[in-house]
Chain A
Amino acid sequence: QSVLTQPPSASGTPGQRVTISCSGSSSNIGSNTVNWYQQLPGTAPKLLIYSNNQRPSGAPDRFSGSKSGTSASLAISGLQSEDEADYYCAAWDDSLNGVVFGGGTKLTVL
């Protein structure tokens, strides 16, 4: 059971906009910034969004992040087949004194 809650799956057709949610609590998302990681099949995770809504160099601007209260969201616009991957949210948890991850969301491009 993950501390951060994500839907196990999401899907969309090419060109669509898809949103993935991440729910936490006051000790993690409510008081710290959220990061999002993309893990393509058979590869290591890659940073996609940091500090709630910042894109690292190289991350496509089709990806955007937001945070409100104890929840965060990752939005993917103009969905492409290469976006098919697992997506994880993560944040520091003040009570656990460590990083907590969501369980991951498997995105399927139909």
Chain B
Amino acid sequence: EVQLLESGGGLVQPGGSLRLSCAASGFTFNNYAMSWVRQAPGKGLEWVSAISGSGGTTYYADSVKGRFTISRDDSKNTLYLQMNSLRAEDTALYYCARDRHIVVVTAICFDFWGQGTLVTVSS
């Protein structure tokens, strides 16, 4: 059974940093590209970042480019999101999602999602 378990969320002050983790199980982790998708309270879904199965290619939404870094450790079956220079508008539930493909392609499609970890940026 595919499982994605996010952790690392919490309350952080504006300008602070946080690292999210997503522990994957039930599938061969390095065979799949992965993404982070967030949802602000009461709002819609926003894609944040994607990384290929090899980890060699990464993509970012303009809203987080230069502040967030996606990475993966295939030996630990874990996906990460390092978030720096956090802003109030980064407050959201952050989901880890598996892509059906090994590389990030234009047919990108999220077939499994975690339950999310909440990040609150506030003073």
Interface positions of A (Cβ within 8 A of B): 2, 31-33, 35, 37, 39, 44-47, 50-51, 56, 86, 88, 90, 92, 94, 96-104
Q: CA A75 – CA B46 in complex, angstroms?
A: 23
Judge whether B47 is part of the interface by a CB distance below 8 angstroms: yes
A50 touches B106 (CB 8 A): no
- Interface residues of chain B, those whose CB is within 8 Å of chain A, are 35, 37, 44-47, 50, 59-62, 95, 100, 105-116
In the docked arrangement, what's the CA distance between A82 and B9, Å? 31
B109, A50: Cβ atoms closer than 8 Å: yes
Cβ A32 vs Cβ B107 within 8 A: yes
Chain B residues contacting A50 (CB-CB under 8 Å) are 100, 109, 111
Structural contact, B35 and A99, CB atoms closer than 8 A: yes
How distant is the Cα of A88 from the Cα of B39 in the complex, in angstroms? 12
Cβ 8 A contact of A37, one of B45, B46, B62: B45
Instruction: Say yes or no: A35-B109 contact (C-beta < 8 A), given A98-B47, A104-B44.
Output: yes
